[in-house]
Chains A and B, each alone.
Chain A
C-alpha cells in the first residue's frame, strides 16, 4: 500500500556512491528492520552520480520494495549534498540518517526513536561503543571529538557518527555547506547553534560489508580540520554581527 506523505513516521535516508557491493544488502536489511518494527516508513536513497552498477541495482530494488524512493544527483556532489538531497525528498515525521556501506545496523533505530520521543529531543545521535575500525581511525575520531568540543562546546562522544535520528521538519530546514565527510559534524554544530535539544545513545558498529572506503585518513582529517576552522570563524563573524547567519 502506497502511503501518503503525512502518514509516514520514519524516513530512512542514505547517500550512495559506487556502492554496488553493499547497497542491495543494506537496503534489504533496512526494509526487513522497518517491516518488523511495524512503523510506517520509507527509505530514501540518493544515488550520488555513481558510475558503477549502483543505479541499476537501485532501479531493480525499487520495483520490488514499494517504500523505497530514489533521488538521483546528475553528477557526483559529495556525501553531504547527496545526504541532503535525500533528506529534502523525505516526508517522515522523523528522519533517520544512515550510510549505505553497512557500517551501521538500522535495528538500533527504535532505541534512538524511543529516546527522542521520551525525552523530547530534536536529535538523537548514535555513538559507536566499539569501533570496528583501524586504530588510527579510532584515534583520529577521538581527536576530532576533542576539537569539536574545544571549538564549539559540543559535549558529544561521537559527532561524526552517521546514524542519527532527527525531527523531520527540523532537519529538512537545515542547510549544509560541507561537500563530503564533515557533514554529520556540521549538522550537529548547526543544530546546536539553533538551540536544538540533542541526546545520544550507544550503538553497534560493524566493519564495512564490502566495497572500498572512499576515505583517505590524512586527507579527510585535514579537510575536516580546515572546515571546522571555517565554521568556527563563521560563528565568530555571526556573533560579532558581521554576517547575518552561519
Chain B
C-alpha cells in the first residue's frame, strides 16, 4: 500500500507466539477491514525459535498488508516493538501486544480522542485488569513512581495499547531493551512536550501461550530503568550531558558546516 494512503499502522512485537499468532492476526485484519480505514500490520520478531515465523510467512500470502521485521542482534520486547514501529508507514501508529490481552477494537476510541483533541499520543488505561493482584499492585506502584519522578500524571503508563502520530513516533529513539519500553515512551514524550491523552479500555486474560514475565525481576528492571531515566534527566537539566537521546543516535545530529 502506498505510504501516503495508509491511515493506520498496527505495530506489535512477537516472540514465540505460535499458539495465538494466527488467531490474533486474523482477528486484527477483521477489525481493520471493518473500520473501513486503510491499514497495515507490522510485526517485529524478537528472535522466535518456535513456528511463529513460519505461520506469519503463510499468513503473508493471504494478507498482503502484513509485514514482518526481524530484530538484528539481541531481542527483547522494546527492540522488537521499535523494529516494527520504524518500518511502519501509516499516518497513525497503533501499538499493541500480540498475546490477546488487548482488543484492537479499542483503538477506535483512542483514535477518535486523538483527532478530536488534536493530541500526539493517546494511551489506553486498563479498566479492570484480568491479572493477578500482585501484578495490578505492581503497576499501581509503577504509576506512582512515574508521577513522583517525572510529573507524568497518567493512570497506566505501562499499558501496551497506544496510538501515536506516525511521523513523531518513528523519530523516537529508545534505550530500554525489554519491558520498561511502554513507560519509557511515555516519559520521553512527556519530557519532549507531546500532547498526551488517555482512554479507558478493557483488558483480557492472555489468549494462550505462556507469559514471559516474572514479576519480581521485571519490577526490579523497571525500577532500575526509572532511576536511570531520572538520573539522565537530572544531568541533562544540569547541562552535564547535552541530550536525552541515546548516545549513538546523536552522531547524525552533529553534522556541521566545515570550511
Chain A residues near B (Cβ < 8 Å): 44, 46, 62, 69-74, 77-78, 80-81, 84-85, 88-89, 175-180, 182, 223, 226-227, 229-230, 233-234, 236-237, 240-246
Contact assessment for B176 and A72 in the assembled complex, using a CB-CB cutoff below 8 Å: no
Selected contact of A233 from candidates B231, B246, B251, CB within 8 Å: B231
In the assembled complex, the CB of A81 is this many whole angstroms from the nearest CB of chain B, namely: 6
Q: From A71, which residue of chain B is reached at the shortest CB distance? A: B258
In the assembled complex, the CB of A192 is this many whole angstroms from the nearest CB of chain B, namely: 15
The CB with the most chain A CB atoms within 10 A, among B176, B251, B255, is that of B251
Contact assessment for B242 and A179 in the assembled complex, using a CB-CB cutoff below 8 Å: yes
Q: From A236, which residue of chain B is reached at the shortest CB distance? A: B224
Residues 221-248 of B contacting A (Cβ, < 8 Å): 221, 224-225, 227-228, 231-232, 234-235, 238-243, 246-248
Contact assessment for B256 and A73 in the assembled complex, using a CB-CB cutoff below 8 Å: yes
Contact assessment for A70 and B247 in the assembled complex, using a CB-CB cutoff below 8 Å: no
Contact assessment for A177 and B225 in the assembled complex, using a CB-CB cutoff below 8 Å: no
Known contacts A72-B259, A244-B76; 13 additional CB pairs below 8 A are A70-B258, A71-B258, A71-B259, A72-B256, A73-B256, A84-B254, A177-B250, A234-B228, A236-B224, A242-B178, A242-B180, A243-B175, A246-B247
At the interface, yes or no: B2 with Cβ under 8 Å from chain A? Answer: no
At the interface, yes or no: B51 with Cβ under 8 Å from chain A? Answer: no
Q: From A44, which residue of chain B is reached at the shortest CB distance? A: B258
Contact assessment for B241 and A74 in the assembled complex, using a CB-CB cutoff below 8 Å: no
Which residues of B lie under 8 Å from residue A88 when comparing CB positions?
A: 251, 254-255
5 contacts between A and B (CB under 8 A): A78-B242, A233-B231, A240-B224, A242-B228, A244-B76
In the assembled complex, the CB of A47 is this many whole angstroms from the nearest CB of chain B, namely: 10
Q: Is the interface of A mostly helix, strand, loop or mixed?
A: mixed
Cα A226 to Cα B243 in complex, Å, equals: 16
Which residues of B lie under 8 Å from residue A229 when comparing CB positions?
A: 231
Cα A241 to Cα B76 in complex, Å, equals: 9
In the assembled complex, the CB of A197 is this many whole angstroms from the nearest CB of chain B, namely: 22
Selected contact of B259 from candidates A70, A80, A81, CB within 8 Å: A70
Chain B residues near A (Cβ < 8 Å): 74, 76, 79, 175-178, 180, 221, 224-225, 227-228, 231-232, 234-235, 238-243, 246-248, 250-251, 254-259
Cα A69 to Cα B259 in complex, Å, equals: 6
Which residues of B lie under 8 Å from residue A236 when comparing CB positions?
A: 224
Cα A232 to Cα B1 in complex, Å, equals: 46
Contact assessment for B257 and A71 in the assembled complex, using a CB-CB cutoff below 8 Å: yes
Contact assessment for B259 and A178 in the assembled complex, using a CB-CB cutoff below 8 Å: no
Selected contact of B228 from candidates A62, A74, A243, CB within 8 Å: A243
A227-B240 contact, Cβ under 8 Å, with A176-B247, A240-B224, A242-B177: yes
Which residues of A lie under 8 Å from residue B241 when comparing CB positions?
A: 177-179, 227, 230
Contact assessment for A180 and B256 in the assembled complex, using a CB-CB cutoff below 8 Å: no
Selected contact of A175 from candidates B232, B248, B256, CB within 8 Å: B248
Which residues of B lie under 8 Å from residue A180 when comparing CB positions?
A: 240
Contact assessment for A179 and B240 in the assembled complex, using a CB-CB cutoff below 8 Å: yes
Cα A70 to Cα B241 in complex, Å, equals: 24
Cα A32 to Cα B176 in complex, Å, equals: 49
Which residues of A lie under 8 Å from residue B240 when comparing CB positions?
A: 178-180, 182, 223, 226-227, 230
Contact assessment for B248 and A223 in the assembled complex, using a CB-CB cutoff below 8 Å: no
In the assembled complex, the CB of A233 is this many whole angstroms from the nearest CB of chain B, namely: 6
Contact assessment for A177 and B243 in the assembled complex, using a CB-CB cutoff below 8 Å: yes
Contact assessment for B235 and A230 in the assembled complex, using a CB-CB cutoff below 8 Å: yes
Contact assessment for A240 and B221 in the assembled complex, using a CB-CB cutoff below 8 Å: yes
Cα A245 to Cα B245 in complex, Å, equals: 12
In the assembled complex, the CB of B59 is this many whole angstroms from the nearest CB of chain A, namely: 29
**Chain A to chain B: the 10 pairs with minimum beta-carbon distance, closest first:** A175-B247, A177-B241, A243-B175, A179-B242, A89-B258, A71-B258, A175-B248, A223-B240, A177-B247, A242-B221
Cα A222 to Cα B256 in complex, Å, equals: 31
Selected contact of A243 from candidates B177, B238, B259, CB within 8 Å: B177
In the assembled complex, the CB of A216 is this many whole angstroms from the nearest CB of chain B, namely: 14
A62-B247 contact, Cβ under 8 Å, with A78-B242, A242-B176: no
Selected contact of A71 from candidates B246, B251, B256, CB within 8 Å: B256
In the assembled complex, the CB of A22 is this many whole angstroms from the nearest CB of chain B, namely: 21
Which residues of A lie under 8 Å from residue B243 when comparing CB positions?
A: 177
In the assembled complex, the CB of A70 is this many whole angstroms from the nearest CB of chain B, namely: 5
Contact assessment for A237 and B242 in the assembled complex, using a CB-CB cutoff below 8 Å: no
Contact assessment for A237 and B228 in the assembled complex, using a CB-CB cutoff below 8 Å: yes
Cα A44 to Cα B241 in complex, Å, equals: 23
Cα A137 to Cα B36 in complex, Å, equals: 69
Which residues of A lie under 8 Å from residue B242 when comparing CB positions?
A: 77-78, 80-81, 177, 179
Which residues of A lie under 8 Å from residue B250 when comparing CB positions?
A: 175, 177
